[in-house]
Every structure is written in structure tokens, then in C-alpha cells.
Structure 1
């Protein structure tokens, strides 16, 4: 997700950071909320321990200070911090970031979905540390059925009670399990990451991709319509092979059910911030001006409670 495809960053880091620092600010009156921002540091007091790949380590840091600077340079108002998988189920770095910058961020952590006390872990991070939700990644467990197991009913009931938000990094064939939980627990707000992760390597990705469309009938579900480089086969801006996917999700869910997120702060490997915004403002030219306002900020206000 973060390391192998980004080694090229190291060769041009200095120039890239200078360009980012000099980048243009966004429109001054536009609300901008980055709804998916993973940050990490190399400070040993926040040890790494990826749950599936314990030896995996980031090659460079992407600390919270980089995001604060990027928000200033581009006029971003708020961001949703998401604990990267590097830290496994330890959300301490994200909690530290939230504590140090309480007026800029809300936070999502990670908790082990197979922990028998998973509902208790949710309560701990929400009540004790002020987190507003959790991210779950069934994509790493493609054959598992924990997502809609009865063992998870207490977790979802606790999320309803706490007002917690769940975002999911999920494969298309897992969408029916998520739809089952959305029907059972309408009080839990749900965000589907990375446009539902359609697989363009398939000869015909559309039958699997359309499984996500069953979630449209649940008004508490939003789709993260962002990070096209996660999906593209060309890996070249403007990622034209992804545009039909973005259009289809827009036509199915409408402009009120889409949100935007970049994934990480400086250093930016795939897209500098000005290109992130250009992709929404110009490449996806089927959005109306109101759609863009909603996608880039206003819809997030319906999901999270940001600092005032």
C-alpha cells in the first residue's frame, strides 16, 4: 500500500518538497476536508508492527507536522487521521497527533477484528482518547466472514451507542457482508474506501464492482471517491482508465454520498496536492460545482464532528 511503489520518491525528495511548499492555495472560501490521512513517524517510542507483515517498515517518515504545513499551504480546513497498518492495533501515534493538534483533526484507529473484546477496544479509543471511529480492512482477509458474523454484533451495537464511524478497505465480493451489517445497524455511519476497490485487471470488472451499488439504499453509507492511483493500471496521471468507475459511482450514489481523501501528507508519491485537487476540479468534469463543494468538504460534515 505504501512502500514498494514509492521508492522513486527518495531520488527526488528535495525537489518534490520544494515544489509542494510553493504550490498554489485552494479557493479561499471553499471548505476542504481530507477524509483519509495516514501519518506515521520513525520515532522509536511509536514502534511498528504490521499485523500481516511484521517486518514491514516505512522507508521515510510522513509525520503530522508535514500535514499541518500542507493544510496551511493549500487551505485545507480539517482532516481525518487514520492509523496506518504499520502500527498494527496500537493507535498511540494517532492519539498523540490528535492531542497535539485538537483543532485540525479527528481520528480513526485500527482494532483487531478477531479480538473477542473488539467492542471494548472500540470503547477504549473513543471514550478514553476521543477517536470518532475505526477502520477495518477485510481486504487483507479475503476468505474471512468476520465482517458480518454474530460475534461482531456487539461491536456494531456499541458503535451505534457511541456514534462511531466505520470505514472499510474492502473487496467487491465482500460488499454483501457489509450490506448485511448496514441493514442490521442503521445507526452506524459507514465509509467505503478507494471507490470500493474495483479490480481493473479483470477482463470485465463491472459485475463485481456493481456489488457495491447495493449499498446505495442505505443512507448512512458514503463512498470515498478519491485516490485514483490505487485503482489505475496505467499509473499515469490523469488515470483515465479510472474515470468510468468514478462516473458510475457518481451516477449511482449522487453528489451527496461521496467524499474525498488523499491518503497521506508530504512526502507525496503519486500526486502532489495541486494534482489531487485538479483531478476533482477538472479531470472528473461531470461533477457540478455543487457536487465538488460537497465532495471536497461539505459531505464530511454529515459524517464527523469537526472542531469548532
Structure 2
């Protein structure tokens, strides 16, 4: 069994970790929310000290000039794609920030190269706050799953799924898979966001995060048979309780916005997530930099995945409010 040391990357929230051709590629939200970064390593434990490259920076003005959130790197049809959310206006001018979903493409074999091209916004039937796009190709069909605000539904965001015509264009009407409805999904904010896909033994599991980004943040799960119609909401069942949450005994608070990868020997599924190791936050939790990227091994039971508890830290972490440079030194 692989032994991992947490955190795997300091001060990178909304982590995304992809294994491809024996290498791990890591990206996540930078605490300044102004860039998209990428790291490459052969071992998960080596990611913190891997060189961090800046692949793209926010625009000076316009729709992609604020709050670059939650980039994900995907390999689709022989090309690389990065899905991310960006806004135009600052907080305070709207009930919700003006985030929409965008796509970058790179046809070079190396995602660390500088061949990234903007493919534009992913347009949805409702032009509203939308973010956290993730994608998977299942039986030859590419699906997009994301979070979006429906003005007719109470809360900040629900989860939707649609087929794709190409990696930046929807091919079907969005179908709502989940909305905030249980008490644990509605603490501070009514939120379903950050979907991630895990497949095992003919089933598809979609995890997601709910509630405010502080201590209440937790992970829920949707389940469907891979052979079912994934665009039919009745194909999906939803956990009534969180499947991954704060563990006070391990000093891990608000775990969430996870993704999945596999171990170095491909024998284990691995959950990747962010969490803090303290509860006192000055100001908005969103702007506290110490949501560090962490991992845990997924165990499998007859009724599905067991994510256990977020493991305690066994590596140094910065002090409250301390912001680090990519090399690990303070600014």
C-alpha cells in the first residue's frame, strides 16, 4: 500500500491531479486567483517540490479578469484541455460573482508547453453563475458535469450534466442531478459544487462539495450504473449524509473540492482534496490561503467507496495567513 505524506502541495485549493504516461500533473486554484499553474512529478509525494509553471494568466479586463478558480487538466481525443471558471466583476457588485466556465486547448504532446489556446466560454441555456466543470468520456461519449445557479431554485448552485459536441460545446440540454436540500448541504451557503467522477465495477460515482468553504465544507456522492442513461436523473441516487467531512481528531477542517487519481503502481484509487488544519479564519474563508492539497487512499466495499477520514498532517505547514511562493519561501 502506498504511503503518502500530507499535505502534498501547500496553498493550492481545488486540487486536480491527473496521471498520464507515468507522470502526475497537478493544478489547482492559486491563492491570488490570477493564474493557471501546472506541476509535473513521477511520485505524488514529490509534487510539493516540483517546478511550478504558469500556463495562463487572467486578462487585464473583461470576463476572464477576476477570480480564476478550480482549473482541471484533461486529455481528450489526442489534445489537452483545461477547464476553469473566471469572473469579470469583484465581489459585492452582485449577489453572486459573475463566474462562467472557459476552456483552453493544447494540441502539443506536452501539457507543460506554451501552446495553450483559448477556446472560449462553455455556453449553457441559462446565462448565470457557473463553475467547476469536470468531464469524462464514457462509452465513447463525452459528458460535462458542472455547478450552476438557476434563478428559479433557492441556493447558490446545483449540479448539472450534459453531453458534449466537442470539448467546449454542449450537445444536449443540461439535466439537474442534485441541488442543496439536506441540512449539511446548506450551512452558511446552499451549495452543490466541485463534482468529480470515479468509476469502479460498472458504477459511476460523482462526488461533490456542499456548504460554505470553511469548517462545514463536506463531500457528498451521487451513484449510477454505467450502463444506465446518465442524462436521466432517475438513474442517480444521492447520499443523505456526507461521505467525507471534517475530522477534529486529525485537525482537518472543511475537506472538499476533491478529484480522483490512481497510485504509482495503479493498484489503488486515490482521493485528492483540500482542507485546512485550523478553524480560526480572519475574514472570508475563501481568501484564507491555507487550503492545502492532500490525498488519501480509497477503500472499496460492497456498497461502494470508503473515503475514510482526512489524514493528519505529517509535513510542515505555514502559519495562519502566511502566503508562500511556489518555491516554498514566504513572499
Structure 1 and Structure 2 fold alike (TM over 0.5): no
Higher helix share: 1
Q: Give the TM-score normalised by the residue count of structure 1.
A: 0.31
Q: Whose RCO is larger (CA < 8 A, sep 6+)?
A: 1
Higher strand share: 2
Q: Give the TM-score normalised by the residue count of structure 2.
A: 0.29
